[in-house]
Amino acid sequence: MTIPRLLVVDDDEETRSMLTQFLQQNGFIAHGAQTEAEIRDRMQAGRVDLILLDVMLGSESGVEICARLRREQDVPIILVSALSQDHQRMAGYEVGADDYVAKPFNPDLLLARVRAVLQRASRSASLVYRRQLALFRFGGWSYDGKRDEVLSPQGFQVALSQRESGLLKVFLANPHIPLRREEIQAALSERLAAASGAESEGTGRAIDMLVGRLRSKIESDPKDPQMLRTARGVGYVLAVDVTEESPA
Amino acid sequence: MTIPRLLVVDDDEETRSMLTQFLQQNGFIAHGAQTEAEIRDRMQAGRVDLILLDVMLGSESGVEICARLRREQDVPIILVSALSQDHQRMAGYEVGADDYVAKPFNPDLLLARVRAVLQRASRSASLVYRRQLALFRFGGWSYDGKRDEVLSPQGFQVALSQRESGLLKVFLANPHIPLRREEIQAALSERLAAASGAESEGTGRAIDMLVGRLRSKIESDPKDPQMLRTARGVGYVLAVDVTEESPA
DNA sequence: ATCTCTAGGTAACAAGTTGTAACGGAAGCC
DNA sequence: GGCTTCCGTTACAACTTGTTACCTAGAGAT
């Protein structure tokens, strides 16, 4: 894949340029668009790998646009919204969005999501599915998103806590990519930190602890981890391949 | 191979001539170009071994040009950009380009990259691959970039620290080429030193230490190194052949 | 061949980072 | 309330990695 090409759809000029710039700074190609027509223009004009679609587009509802786009083409879509109630979230999934991010969002979280969706998209060419329910296989292990259940290579079921399985999901979505602690933190606690460069989170070493505990459960030799490798000075990486199946 | 012929594509006159001069001083043949049309002219007119392509070409996106060129021919391309704050990250991505360098770049780093890409190009005619994830074999040893794991000729697994495996990767990418300490340093810490002739890094002998430690791990007789030879007055060379396989 | 000078090998140390055991608070359950 | 489980914090040990200092080996001059 070449550099991913993103399309940021938002009717607020400021948000749009802020977003496109931020994404460009992080190695993506990002363009802006305001209307459904513009989206279609862009997609006509060239490849678009992912659309970041605001839910509140003045007159139009982003959700409806999403539904329409999805019916016709298979471009991955992340819905962006200030309304982060759960039922609305579900509505987004029903419509076929690949993910859903609340605004104001933590930039690290957004990055992680974008990468995750692109990853998935590049692997399983075309497949509208619901994020949570996939079945992952990695290094002999498997994780069933539907049951939130982990099976060891020997078939033993291993109980993970909420947070641990959350952590696992974050890594499964970003294999081979070193994740910084802040990114992990952000992806885990969907709490919206301040929008921009928010680097609060000076708490402590919770992530290290979490990783340690997860290792003790899914690494055959936790002292010498084969899957959850540490990237010194950076964070942690999942160093095995991940395959993802749509749920049965 | 004869002297490699490089093409520097940038719309800024100053950058372009600075770059071409620098490359010429380092033994390459370098020309400049500003537009895609000019690139094609040059390629028509004569062999071009490597293109250094700026990402921000005024109106056009270098990335798109890269994609187009790649679709038609197999010329190696290094993308140059000011956009890559989080550069390490890009490495994880599969880009159509052969490599990606941040601007302002450390000249030593650039040299190392150029050599590495030329090396690869001459070896494995055409191959879009994932930089990090290749599998290398050298002098009986192997290095698995995917697992970041080194196997001795006897099949024993040797644990390298982060920095040590980074060093190894630098050498694997540039076999038989004497690398100066500054180049190595630059390639290791992708940190952008000051743009031009920036020779800061007057720190100390960290590289010597690193090489020493790596030798102690992968040389059968560290006192008389067979692979990691020292090039007196210059730096170090990897003195064995390297084969590189794309990951399974 | 010997001398001298300098580059490089290496041990010892120091600073920074990570792994992990122990502790304690909070939430859920009986 | 008392228990258990989850999870963040702290403290400390172990490991990484750069720096310094000292010594040996090579290269060139005599």
Q: For A111-122, what is each residue's pLDDT tens digit?
A: 877 877 776 665
Nearest CA in chain B to A30: B61
Q: Pick from B89, B101, B130, B188 the residue to mutate for testing the A interface (most A CBs within 10 Å).
A: B89
Q: Residue A149's domain spans which residues?
A: 132-245
Return the pLDDT at A120.
65
CB < 8 Å to B161, chain A = 232
Contact B63 A233 (CB under 8 A): no
pLDDT higher than 90, residue B73: no
**CATH code, domain with B236:** 1.10.10.10
Q: How many residues does chain A have?
A: 248
Is the distance between the Cβ of B62 and the closest atom of strand C smaller than 7 Å? no
Could you tell me what percent of chain A has a pLDDT over 90? 4
Question: Any idea what the CATH number is for the domain that residue A29 is in?
Answer: 3.40.50.2300
Instruction: Please determine, for residue A45, whether its predicted confidence score (pLDDT) is greater than 50.
Output: yes
* Residue A116, in any domain of the structure: no
**Strand D: which residues 159-178 of B lie within 7 A (CB)?**
159, 161-164
DSSP letter, residue A152: -
Report the pLDDT averaged over residues A7-15. Answer: 88
pLDDT band at B138 (very low <50, low <70, confident <90, very high): very high
Residue B229 DSSP code: E
As for the ipTM of the complex, it is 0.59
> Chain B residue closest to A31 (CA)?
B61
Same domain, B136 and B200: yes
Residues B42 and B145 in one domain: no
Cβ <8 Å between A25 and B148:
no
Within this chain, do residues A92 and A156 fall inside the same structural domain, yes or no? no
pLDDT tier, A209 (very low <50, low <70, confident <90, very high otherwise): very high
Residue nearest to nucleotide D14 (CA to C1'): A223
The verdict on residue B28 lying in a domain is yes
Are A99 and A136 contained in the same domain?
no
Residues of A with CB under 8 A from a CB of B: 1-4, 24-27, 29, 46, 176-178, 224, 226, 229, 231-234, 239-241
Residue B75 lies in a domain: yes
The verdict on a CB contact (< 8 Å) between B85 and A3 is no
Nucleotides of D under 7 A from a protein CB: 5-11, 15-21, 26-27
Verify that B235 and B149 share a domain, yes or no.
Answer: yes
pLDDT-derived band of residue B120, with 50, 70 and 90 as boundaries? low
In contact, B183 and B235? CB cutoff 8 Å: yes
- Give the CA-trace dihedral at B197, B61, A126, A96, to 10 degrees: 100
- Domain boundary among the residues B55, B82, B103 is at B103
Query: Is the distance between the Cβ of B237 and the closest atom of strand C smaller than 7 Å?
Result: no
Q: Is the pLDDT of residue B117 over 50?
A: yes
- Whole-angstrom distance, CA of residue B69 vs CA of residue B52: 13
pLDDT band at B60, cuts 50/70/90?
low
Q: Are residues A98 and A157 in the same domain?
A: no
Same-domain pairing of B146 and B78: no
- The verdict on A95 and A150 lying in the same domain is no
pLDDT over threshold 70, residue B75? yes
Number of domains into which chain A is organized: 2
CB within 8 Å: B94 and A231 = no
Residue A113 domain-assigned? no
Assess whether A99 and A139 both reside in one domain. Answer: no
Residue pair B170/B180 in contact (Cβ under 8 Å)? The answer is no
Q: What is the pLDDT of residue A14?
A: 86
Q: How far is A83 from chain B (nearest CA, A)?
A: 30
* Residue A202 pLDDT level (bands cut at 50, 70, 90): very low
CB contacts of A239 in chain B (<8 Å) are 146-148
pLDDT recorded at residue B115: 82
Q: Are the Cβ atoms of A27 and B147 closer than 8 angstroms? A: no
Residue B204 (CA) to nucleotide C19 (C1'), in angstroms, measures: 30
Strand segments, DSSP code E, in chain A are 5-9, 29-33, 50-54, 56-57, 60-61, 77-81, 99-102, 135-138, 141-144, 149-151, 157-158, 179-180, 228-231, 235-238, 242-245
Distance (Å) from the alpha carbon of B108 to chain A's nearest alpha carbon: 22
Give the nucleotide at minimum CA-to-C1' distance from A212: C19
Whether B120 maps to a domain, the answer reads no
B109 located within any domain = no
Q: Inter-chain contact A234–B93, Cβ cutoff 8 Å?
A: no
Calculate mean pLDDT across residues B210-221: 92
Structural domain ending residue among the three candidates B47, B82, B103: B103
- Report how far apart, in Å, the C-alpha atoms of A194 and of each of A19, A88, A186, B100, B219 are: 14, 22, 11, 31, 51
* Within a domain: B108: no
Helix axes A162-173, A206-218, angle to 10 degrees: 90
User: How does pLDDT run across A60-97, given as a tens digit for each residue?
Assistant: 677 778 777 776 666 788 888 765 444 344 444 555 67
Q: Is residue A97 part of a domain?
A: yes
| Neighbouring-strand partners of residue A30 | A6
Tell me, yes or no, whether A167 and A219 share the same domain. yes
Q: Which nucleotide lies closest to B224 by the C1' atom and the CA atom?
A: C9
Q: Does residue B87 sit in the same domain as residue B168? A: no
Phi first, then psi: what are they for B37, rounded to 5°?
-60, -45
Q: Is the CB of B234 under 7 A from strand C?
A: yes
Chain B residues with CB under 8 Å of a chain A CB are 61, 63-64, 66-67, 70, 83-90, 92-97, 132-133, 146-148, 159, 161-163
Q: Are residues A144 and A98 in the same domain?
A: no
- CB contact under 8 Å between A239 and B93, yes or no, is no
- A2-11, B26-35, B215-224, range with the lowest pLDDT: A2-11
